[in-house]
């Protein structure tokens, strides 16, 4: 049974068959492995810890709560009252693992000869063997868990159980007991096939289970991206049995025997590949595969690009993201990789398996779920906040053409996708969202995208965007400012200038009691419905905050550089001057209107309409 499990696991890693069906099959195979006797398990615990069960634990369950190929887990309690999970390794396991890896290595050698593969497939058996041998030492798994917990502690929606080091040894691992729902159970409860078939669950319970499952998957995708793009430390076996959804809405990870550590070069290449798939840049995707050490040296990259374009060219974009399942994209890329004898580094296989397994779980609950929709907004945020040279290079490839000319349409598209991110889970993301205020309230709205750009420009997190504008060709930047696509940008600037003019006019007219913009907004909305009032105040507040843009010296430097470059094109400068004049005239008209309204309100307030009191004497 153990041999079958190892061969099945290797087949998954080797051929990237990481869909839900295969993971489900492996989970079922694990569940069918019979447990070994409790007496043997207790004896191993006593031998490893060097003390009796009674002196170490106050309680250990009679039967294991989980049994797998390498060990089984008991629920217990420590002497100081903590609930723990105690994993005990199967006896006499090492020689079985070594034997199975040897058999697998011979089998892969035969496959290599029959398939006439150039790369040595036995490398995968060696990599798998290293991982499995490492899993036999629970002290390494404890170290993995501690490292994973420390690396992901800044992200509050990720839960990693605590390791009890004094109760862990080479064949015994004691960790905090995790209370949470298994995604398989949530999937079973939320399954539509149960409706109308005598289900013990009500429709409300099924809907709640589906909601929790989709929230778990969404956080699972985000946690995978954090592991992939932020920490570089990946949980290499995120099947449903190793995941839990806690009562506080966190995703909990279990079993840290298999971990994957990524190099920075591979992290940024993976980030770039997601961007290039979404933008349909197949030549860029081929370069990414080369950076990932997937494409072999000497491969005809032009032919690979043409084949990828044929395989993925029919992918349609819906609201800026590919209308296709991640697993299908993976299958098409994999077919091209097989044709050109690409190698598949172990980390690459594990990353793709992780994302594909989460997508399979989500699709089982919601057929309309798309991994790219969940992943790409995170990618946008990463590129807009990470000021590293590698991230800037990727962002430049998206927003600039080969002549470094700024393309407003591409940036607007990029940000429209970014503001879809209504809830940012990570602590870094939360800071990013705070700097944007309410910019994400209107998804896909041009007003909100412009709002997002202007807020970013003057915020602490806007350093990447400011550098981007400084790098752009100045003339193309001015061309973007006067283009039709930038009309909302000019309207927002006009409203900001109007706010400054109003302040200046009020002081010039010596209106000592001139009400502020926010106070006038409160008066203007006093008769509105609370929903309309909130919407008006959000938009008004966002405009009012923009007056800081006019005084920002960093933005003045960017504008000066752009105008210096555009001076060589008289027609472009004429368009800019005309657009600037219209912005000023519009702002002046708005400011005059507000001063007039304020003056009328002051006059009306000074006139008393109270009835006069008259006294009569008799």
Q: Could you state, in order of their start, the residue ranges of all structural domains in the chain?
A: 2-194, 203-375, 474-603
- Of 314 and 212, the structure prediction assigns the larger pLDDT to 212
What pLDDT is attached to residue 155? Answer: 93
| Residue 257, pLDDT above cutoff 60 | yes
Asked if 237 is an active-site residue, the reply is: yes
**Calpha distance 74→26 (Å, rounded):** 21
Structure tokens at 335: 């077919």
**At what angle are helices 371-385 and 264-279 packed, to 10 degrees?**
120
What pLDDT is attached to residue 582? Answer: 92
Query: Which band of pLDDT confidence, cut at 50, 70 and 90, is reported for residue 487?
Result: confident
Residues 6+ apart with CB under 8 A from 388: 268
| Residue 233, pLDDT above cutoff 60 | yes
Residues 6+ apart with CB under 8 A from 54: none
237, 255, 288, 293: the catalytic one is 237
| 323-360: pLDDT as tens digits | 667 777 777 887 888 788 787 777 777 777 777 777 77
What pLDDT is attached to residue 412? Answer: 72
| Residue 165, pLDDT above cutoff 80 | yes
> Lowest mean pLDDT: which of 157-161, 231-235, 465-469, 547-551?
547-551
| Residue 31, pLDDT above cutoff 60 | no
**Calpha distance 55→256 (Å, rounded):** 28
Indicate the SS3 state at residue 246. coil
| Residue 27, pLDDT above cutoff 60 | no
Alpha helices in 400-529 (DSSP H): 408-418, 427-436, 446-458, 463-471, 474-481, 487-508, 517-524
137 by Cβ neighbours in 10 Å (0-12 / 13-18 / 19+) ranks as middle
Count other C-beta atoms under 10 Å from residue 460's C-beta: 10
- Of 349 and 494, the structure prediction assigns the larger pLDDT to 494
What pLDDT is attached to residue 617? Answer: 53
Give the bridge partners for 307, in sequence order.
none
> Lowest mean pLDDT: which of 137-151, 416-430, 461-475, 562-576?
416-430
| Residue 176, pLDDT above cutoff 90 | yes
Cβ-contact 321, 417 below 8 angstroms: yes
| Residue 576, pLDDT above cutoff 80 | yes
What pLDDT is attached to residue 320? Answer: 58
| Average pLDDT of the residues in 102-110 | 79
**Calpha distance 360→421 (Å, rounded):** 22
**Calpha distance 289→330 (Å, rounded):** 13
Phi and psi, residue 73, nearest 5°:
-115, 135
Count other C-beta atoms under 10 Å from residue 81's C-beta: 7
Indicate the SS3 state at residue 191. coil
**Calpha distance 229→428 (Å, rounded):** 13
**E strands present in 559-613:** none
| 525-547: pLDDT as tens digits | 455 455 444 544 444 444 445 55
What pLDDT is attached to residue 49? Answer: 94
Where do we find the tokens 């029919």? 314
| Average pLDDT of the residues in 435-449 | 47
Range from 5-9, 106-110, 141-145, 520-524 that averages highest in pLDDT: 141-145
Structure tokens at 434: 């705070």
Cβ-contact 177, 83 below 8 angstroms: yes
412 by Cβ neighbours in 10 Å (0-12 / 13-18 / 19+) ranks as buried
- Of 15 and 369, the structure prediction assigns the larger pLDDT to 369
| Average pLDDT of the residues in 371-398 | 81
Question: Percentage of the chain with pLDDT > 70?
Answer: 73
**Calpha distance 26→163 (Å, rounded):** 27
State the DSSP H helix or E strand holding residue 81, giving kind and residue range, or none if neither.
Answer: none
| Residue 460, pLDDT above cutoff 80 | no
| Residue 516, pLDDT above cutoff 50 | no
The angle subtended at Cα 45 by Cα 39 and Cα 46, nearest 5°, is: 90
Q: Share the mean pLDDT of the chain.
A: 76
The angle subtended at Cα 147 by Cα 423 and Cα 78, nearest 5°, is: 100
> Lowest mean pLDDT: which of 10-14, 129-133, 289-293?
10-14
């Amino acid at each position: 049974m153990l041999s079958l499990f190892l061969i099945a696991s290797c087949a998954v890693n080797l051929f990237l068959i990481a869909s839900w069906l295969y993971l489900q099959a492996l989970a079922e195979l694990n569940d069918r492995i019979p447990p070994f006797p409790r007496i043997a398990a207790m004896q191993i615990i006593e031998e490893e810890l060097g003390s009796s069960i009674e002196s170490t634990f106050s309680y250990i369950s009679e039967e294991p709560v989980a049994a797998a190929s390498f060990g089984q887990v008991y629920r217990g309690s420590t002497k100081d009252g903590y609930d723990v999970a105690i994993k005990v390794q199967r006896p006499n396991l090492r020689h079985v693992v070594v034997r199975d890896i040897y058999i697998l290595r011979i089998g892969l050698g035969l496959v290599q000869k029959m398939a006439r593969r150039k790369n040595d497939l036995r490398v995968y058996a060696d990599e798998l063997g290293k991982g499995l041998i490492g899993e036999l030492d629970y002290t390494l798994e404890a170290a993995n868990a501690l490292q994973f917990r420390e690396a992901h502690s800044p992200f509050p929606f990720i839960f990693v159980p605590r390791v009890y080091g004094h109760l862990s040894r080479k064949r015994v691992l004691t960790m905090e007991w995790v209370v949470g729902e298994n995604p398989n159970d949530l999937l079973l409860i939320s399954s539509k096939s149960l409706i109308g078939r005598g289900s013990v669950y009500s429709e409300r319970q099924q809907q709640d289970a589906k909601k929790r499952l989709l929230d778990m998957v969404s956080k699972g995708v985000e946690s995978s991206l954090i592991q992939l793009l932020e920490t570089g430390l990946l949980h290499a076996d995120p099947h449903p049995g190793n995941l839990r959804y806690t009562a506080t809405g966190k995703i909990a990870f279990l079993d840290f025997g298999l971990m994957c550590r990524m190099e920075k070069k591979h992290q940024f290449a993976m980030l770039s590949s997601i961007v290039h798939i979404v933008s349909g840049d197949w030549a860029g995707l081929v370069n990414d595969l080369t950076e990932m050490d997937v494409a072999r040296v000497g491969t005809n990259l032009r032919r690979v690009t043409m084949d990828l374009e044929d395989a993925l060219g029919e992918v349609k974009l819906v609201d800026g993201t590919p209308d296709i399942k991640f697993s299908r994209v993976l299958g098409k890329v994999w077919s091209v990789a097989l044709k050109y004898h690409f190698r598949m580094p172990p980390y690459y296989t594990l990353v793709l398996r992780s994302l594909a397994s989460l997508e399979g779980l989500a699709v089982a609950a919601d057929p309309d779920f798309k991994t790219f929709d969940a992943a790409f907004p995170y990618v946008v945020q990463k590129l807009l906040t990470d000021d590293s040279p590698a991230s800037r290079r990727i962002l430049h490839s998206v927003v600039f053409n080969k002549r470094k000319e700024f393309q407003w349409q591409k940036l607007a598209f990029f940000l429209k996708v970014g503001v879809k991110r209504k809830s940012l889970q990570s602590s870094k993301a939360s800071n990013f969202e705070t700097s944007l205020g309410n910019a994400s309230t209107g998804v896909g709205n041009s007003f909100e995208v412009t709002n997002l750009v202007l807020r970013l420009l003057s915020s602490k997190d806007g350093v990447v965007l400011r550098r981007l504008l400084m790098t752009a060709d100045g003339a193309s930047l001015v061309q973007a400012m006067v283009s039709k696509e930038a009309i909302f940008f000019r309207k927002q600037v006009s409203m900001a200038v109007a706010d400054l003019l109003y302040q200046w006019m009020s002081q010039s007219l010596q209106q000592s009691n001139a009400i502020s913009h926010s106070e006038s907004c409160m008066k203007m909305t006093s008769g509105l419905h609370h929903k309309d009032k909130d919407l008006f105040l959000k938009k008004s507040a966002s405009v009012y905050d923009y007056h800081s843009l006019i005084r920002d010296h960093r933005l003045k430097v960017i504008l000066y550089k752009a105008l210096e470059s555009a001076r060589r094109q008289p027609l472009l400068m004429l368009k800019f001057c005309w657009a600037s004049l219209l912005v000023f005239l519009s702002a002046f008209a708005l400011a005059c209107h507000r001063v007039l309204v304020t003056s009328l309100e002051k006059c009306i307030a000074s006139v008393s309409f109270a009835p006069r009191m008259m006294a009569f004497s008799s």
